[in-house]
Structure 1
C-alpha cells in the first residue's frame, strides 16, 4: 500500500493523472472524512462557498455515531431538542421529536432526513474507508487514499471522524475462538438480535454503552452475566414521550433553547447552582440533591453546586448521596457495594444515564461478575473462562469502549510536511491550535478534534464548522492556498488547555477524557485530551483569531 501511495503521489506531480477539476488540477477543493452530524454540516457549509467537496464515509449510509451504534438501548443523553441542528428554521419547524431523549433509530432517521432535505448524499461516497492522507507541500494539496487503493486530491482536508468512533476490544486470549455470536456494541449488525429470549448472554463492560445495553438485554435474556471491569456512577435519565402540545411549544421556543445552550458552561440545558456545597445546611443540601436526582438528563451532574467538580470535599458529599441511592435500589448489599465506584468521584468521568439499570441486579436472571475479584482468563469456544470456572454463552457483547479522541486519527496514516506522521507528532499527547488545526499539517482542519469542548456535541460541531468555513472563505477571498498554525500558537494553546485542566478533579482520574485506555498500546499515560473551560471562553478565543485575520496562522 505504501509503495502504491508513493507512486500515485509522484504521478500527480508528473501530471500523469487526469483530474476532474479544471482550475488547478485537483480532484476537489475539499475532502471531508466522515458523514456523521459534523461531516454533513461541513459539506453543506462548504457548498455555500461554491466549493467542490467530496465526503468519504466508511459505512453504507449517513449518520456517523448513530449509524454505527445501533445496539439495543442506544439513545441520547442530551435533550433531543438541544442536540439537533439549529442552522435552519424550516428544518426545526418540520421535524417532530417523539421522546425527550431520542433513541438511535429515531436519531438516525433524523440525520437521514437532513441529508435528503439538503441533497447531501450526491457528494458522499459510501463504503469508502480512508486509510491515509498525505500532504504534498509543492502542490499545496492533500492526497487521500481509500482502502480500495483509489486516491483523490484536494486543497483542503477536514476530519469529521468523531471523538468516540474507534471501538476497542479487550486483550483477552481467544477472542476469535468463540463459536457463538459476538460483537462490539459499536459494530452491532444491522440484522443483529433485538430480543434475547432463551439466550445466555454475556456483556463485558459497564460504561455508558454497557449500561444502556444491559438494561435491554436483561428484559428478555434467559440469563445475563455482566462482567464489570470497573463500576461507573450513573443516575436516572427520566425519559418520557413528548406530547404534541409539548412539541408545538418546543418549536416556538427553539431560539430560547439554543440561546440557553450558548450561555451554559458546556452547551447543555443545565447550569450549576451558584452556591457552593457547604453554603447550605445538610438538610437543604440533601433536598437539593433529591430534586436534581429526580430531574431529567444531566441535572444532578451539571446542575449541582458550583464547587462539585473542583473541590474534593464537595465531590465526596455528592458521591455519598449517589452511593446511598445505589444501595437503596439494589437489594443485595454485597452487589450494591460492587456497583459503587471507589476509584473516582461522581462526575469526574462522564456520567452515564440509565433507566432502572440498578434494579436489573435484583432480577433472578442477572448475575454480576466483578473482574477485580474474578478476572477473565480467556475467551473459549463455548464462552468465557474466569479464574473460577468456564461459563457457556450464546452471545458475547463487548461494551468495552473506544480509543477516544485521538484513536480515530491514529487509524489513518496522516502525514504532514516532510512526511511527519500525526501519530508520531502526538506521541506525548495532542498538540493543536484551538483544537482545529495542527502545526506542520497545513490545510488540515479538525471538527471536534482534541483540545475542544466535548459537551453537547452538535453545539460544538456547529461552531467548529462555522469557524472552519469562515477561514476557508477568508482564504478564497484573498486567493490564498495554504494555512497552518505557527509553532508558537500551538504551544500557547496546548499549554492553555493543560493549565485550565489542572484545576479540575476529572484531570486526576483515568478516563477516555484524559487519554487513558488499557486496551490500546501507548495509551496508559494520562494527559489533557480535551478543553475543560467554558464554551463561552472557547468561542471568545476563537472569535478573536477570526477578528484578527488569523495572525496566529501562516497564510500563503
Structure 2
C-alpha cells in the first residue's frame, strides 16, 4: 500500500457523472475540497449519455426533473416537453456542468476498478482502468440506480450475423430500422419505449416478453408558454410540494381512497388519469393504491379491461395483462405500446411459455422454434441499485469486501453510509428512496457535504455508521416494503427486490417509506449531531 500512497492525494473522489455525481462534485467543491471525479462515459450525463435509443425519455415531470437550489439557474432552463426526452436531459446536465465549472474535476472514459480503505493512512486508495492511483480522505459514489446492464443468460449471441444493441449502451450513430426485421427482448421501461418508437418503421417486430407490465400512456405533449410562466411565478410552491411528496413529485396527495369512492366516480377518475398518463395513475387517483391490496386490485381490474379494449386479439391481450399489483414492479409508461400489437407485422412471444434457448446466426431460437431477424435489441434491464457497486472491488476495514458485506442483500444506514467503510458516502445508493431522482440527489448531496463540514469543524477524521444502525434501517426498510404492494415484487421479477436476476440475493433495494420521510430522517440525524455514526479523531480509535 505504501507504493500506492505515492500517487496524488486529493480530499475527495467522486464516481459518477450523472445527476448524483455532478451534484456531489459541486457540493464538495463548494465546501473547499479538492475533488477528483470519474466516469466511464466520454462525457458527463450519467445514464443519459448511454440511453440514446429511440423513444428514450424520463417519465418524471419537467418542472421537477432538475435541481432547485439555484433559482436563477433553474428558472433559466425550460424543457420542451412535459416528460423530457433524452437529448434534452443530456443538454441540461451538460449545461449544469458548464455553468458551475465542474468539467475540470472530471476524468472521463475512465472506469474505477477498485476503492480500498487503507487503515495505515486512513485514506481511500482508488485505482482506475487507466492505471492511475488516487488517494482521498472521502469516497463518494453517485453511480445511479440503473448503470450496470445485464444480458440474457443464454448462449450464442456472438454467432448472430446481424446487429445487436443494448438500450443502455446505444451507439452514437443512428440505427436504421426501416424495413428491417427486429427483435426486442424485454418489456420494461426501455423496452416499451423503443417498441412504441420503432413499431411503425420496421417490416417485422418480434417482442420477447418475460413479465408483462402495466403500461399506461405518457400523456406526452409540449410544455405551454403559460406553464413555463407558472413555474417561475410558483417556484417556491412547486418545490415545497416536491419536498413533501413521497415520490418527489410536484403534486399534493389525492385526498381520497379507492374503496370509499363511488364506482362510477372512481372509473371517471381512472379515465382522466389514463388520459393525463404516466405516474398520474399511481399518484393522482387514490391514496390507498400502494397500501391496500384490495384498492390496488380495483385499479388493476380497470387497467386490465383497458388493455382488452385496446388490443384486438384476446390471446395477446391476456399475455399483456400482468398478474402482479400495479406498483409492485417499476411502472413504465409509453404512447402507442398497446396499440402496436394490433399491427399485423408485430408479434408477441411469451418466453415463460417458450423460453429463449440460444441465439443463432439468423436470429433467436426458443423452445418453439427459430425467429429470423436483422437486428436484436436487448432491453433486458440492469443489475439495478447494487450492480454498479458489486462489479467494483470496494474494500473497507480489515480488507472486507462490500460484496461480502452485502452477500445477503444491501445493508446501509439511510442509504448513505455502510458500517465498516469509513468516510464512504453514497448519493442515490442502495436503500435510498424510490423517487424522482434530482431532488433526492440534491438532498443527499447536501447532507453529505454538511456532514463533512461538521467533521472538519469538530476535528473528526473518520465517521462510520454503526452495525446496529445499519441493521435497524434494513429492518425498517424491509418492514415498510412488506406492508405495501411492493411485497409482491418478488413474484413480479422486480429489480426493486433483486428478483430480475437469477442468483441475486432477494432483498428490497430501495426505501418505499417516501422521499419526504427519508429527507426528514436525514435532517433529524444532522440536527441531533449524527448519533448513528461513530466519530473518531484517528484510525487508532475506530473499531
Q: TM-score range by the shorter chain?
A: over 0.9
1:539 lines up with 2:519 in the alignment = yes
Contact 2:246 2:517 in 1 (8 A): no
RMSD: 1.4
1:517 lines up with 2:497 in the alignment = no
Secondary structure of the structure 2 residue equivalent to 1:483 = strand
The alpha-carbon deviation at position 212 of structure 1 amounts to 0.2
Secondary structure of the structure 2 residue equivalent to 1:86 = coil
Of 357, 377, 387, which residue of structure 1 is paired with 2:337? 357
Residue 289 of structure 1 is matched in structure 2 by: 270
CA gap 1:150/1:180 in 2 versus in 1, 3 angstroms: same
1:302 lines up with 2:283 in the alignment = yes
1:346 lines up with 2:329 in the alignment = no
Q: How far apart, CA to CA, are the structure 1 residues paired with 2:507 and 2:375?
A: 36
The alpha-carbon deviation at position 18 of structure 1 amounts to 5.7
Cα deviations by residue, 1:230-275 (Å, 9 ceiling, x for unpaired): 1111111101011333322222222221111111122113444333
Residue 405 of structure 2 is matched in structure 1 by: 425
Contact 1:454 1:460 in 2 (8 A): no
Residue 197 of structure 1 is matched in structure 2 by: 178
Cα deviations by residue, 1:470-521 (Å, 9 ceiling, x for unpaired): 0011112223221111122212222221222221111232211112223x5x
The alpha-carbon deviation at position 357 of structure 1 amounts to 0.9
Secondary structure of the structure 1 residue equivalent to 2:349 = strand
Contact 1:309 1:347 in 2 (8 A): yes
The alpha-carbon deviation at position 306 of structure 1 amounts to 2.1
Residue 39 of structure 2 is matched in structure 1 by: 57
1:167 lines up with 2:149 in the alignment = yes
Contact 2:432 2:510 in 1 (8 A): yes
Of 247, 260, 273, which residue of structure 2 is paired with 1:266? 247
Of 460, 467, 477, which residue of structure 1 is paired with 2:447? 467
Of 383, 394, 402, which residue of structure 1 is paired with 2:382? 402
1:440 lines up with 2:420 in the alignment = yes
Residue 540 of structure 2 is matched in structure 1 by: none
| Large movers: runs of 4+ above 3 Å | none
Cα deviations by residue, 1:405-439 (Å, 9 ceiling, x for unpaired): 11110011000000000011011111111110000
Q: How far apart, CA to CA, are the structure 2 residues paired with 1:347 and 1:551?
A: 34
Contact 1:92 1:251 in 2 (8 A): no
1:328 lines up with 2:309 in the alignment = yes
Q: How far apart, CA to CA, are the structure 2 residues paired with 1:185 and 1:12?
A: 37
Q: How far apart, CA to CA, are the structure 2 residues paired with 1:396 and 1:350?
A: 24
Secondary structure of the structure 2 residue equivalent to 1:54 = strand
Of 351, 359, 376, which residue of structure 2 is paired with 1:379? 359
Q: How far apart, CA to CA, are the structure 2 residues paired with 1:271 and 1:402?
A: 32
How do residues 22-171 of structure 1 correspond to structure 2 at under 5 angstroms?
A: 27-171=9-153
Name stretches of at least 5 consecutive residues in structure 1 with no aligned partner.
Answer: 1-8, 20-26
Q: How far apart, CA to CA, are the structure 1 residues paired with 2:520 and 2:77?
A: 31
Secondary structure of the structure 2 residue equivalent to 1:353 = coil
The alpha-carbon deviation at position 304 of structure 1 amounts to 2.5
Residue 507 of structure 1 is matched in structure 2 by: 487
Moved more, 245-254 or 313-322: 245-254
Q: How far apart, CA to CA, are the structure 2 residues paired with 1:409 and 1:222?
A: 40
Q: How far apart, CA to CA, are the structure 2 residues paired with 1:365 and 1:104?
A: 28
Of 246, 249, 267, which residue of structure 1 is paired with 2:230? 249
Of 212, 223, 227, which residue of structure 1 is paired with 2:208? 227
The alpha-carbon deviation at position 217 of structure 1 amounts to 1.4
Q: How far apart, CA to CA, are the structure 2 residues paired with 1:130 and 1:108?
A: 22
The alpha-carbon deviation at position 171 of structure 1 amounts to 0.6
Residue 337 of structure 1 is matched in structure 2 by: 318
Contact 2:477 2:512 in 1 (8 A): yes
Moved more, 365-374 or 63-72: 365-374
Q: How far apart, CA to CA, are the structure 2 residues paired with 1:430 and 1:119?
A: 34
TM-score, length of structure 2 as denominator length = 0.96
The alpha-carbon deviation at position 326 of structure 1 amounts to 0.7
The alpha-carbon deviation at position 63 of structure 1 amounts to 0.3
CA gap 1:18/1:534 in 2 versus in 1, 3 angstroms: closer
Residue 541 of structure 2 is matched in structure 1 by: none
Q: How far apart, CA to CA, are the structure 1 residues paired with 2:466 and 2:7?
A: 34
Q: How far apart, CA to CA, are the structure 2 residues paired with 1:368 and 1:228?
A: 7
TM-score, length of structure 1 as denominator length = 0.93
Cα deviations by residue, 1:96-126 (Å, 9 ceiling, x for unpaired): 2111111101110111111111111011000
Of 318, 328, 352, which residue of structure 1 is paired with 2:299? 318
Q: How far apart, CA to CA, are the structure 1 residues paired with 2:420 and 2:355?
A: 44
Q: How far apart, CA to CA, are the structure 1 residues paired with 2:7 and 2:108?
A: 23
1:415 lines up with 2:395 in the alignment = yes
Cα deviations by residue, 1:368-423 (Å, 9 ceiling, x for unpaired): 11112222221011111122222221110000110011111001100000000001
Contact 1:30 1:158 in 2 (8 A): yes
